[in-house]
Amino acid sequence: MHTGLHLLSVVLPYPVTGGSIGAEESRLDFDIPESGLDRDVVTEKLNALIGQDAAVTDRWITDAELEANPGLVKTMAVKPPMGSGKVRLVEIAGLDLQPCGGTHVRRTGEIGRLAVSAIEKKGKQNRRVRVVFA
């Protein structure tokens, strides 16, 4: 499920303002200027990425390397833990690359099918996207 949220942030390339992860349901809040997001369309795109069965790998870089590449920190709302001198980068082959300390599957196909259960309006620009196992 956690890896699935990485993919959700690929489907919806907007700033993430919050989120939570659970065994049954997870959610991410996005700063999206306009509505018109379609649940079925987002679900379809998400499962298409899962279906690519892309390899998930990680590697370590130094804090200095991360600071030199601020574009890497894009989403997940959680600032990567810095200060220890190195940061773990998680790459989903061809799809996503970002610092993350979470636990991931080895291939996106292991996630199984996901479904967007709701897209809620939270404030003027904020959209909360809820994801469950299909």
Q: Which residues bind Zn ion (CB under 5 A)?
A: 100, 102
Is the CB of 13 or the CB of 36 nearer to Zn ion? 13
Supply the minimum distance, in Å, between the C-beta of residue 100 and Zn ion.
Answer: 3
CA 75 to chain centre: 7
The CB-of-90 to Zn ion minimum distance in angstroms stands at 5
* 53: region left, alpha or beta (phi > 0 left; psi from -120 to 50 alpha): left
Q: Which is nearer to Zn ion, 39 or 86 (CB)?
A: 86
Cβ-based neighbours of 45, under 8 Å, separated by 6 or more: 11
Half-sphere exposure of 12 (CA within 13 A, CB side): 37
User: Least distance in Å: CB of 88 to Zn ion?
Assistant: 9
Q: Which is nearer to Zn ion, 23 or 36 (CB)?
A: 23
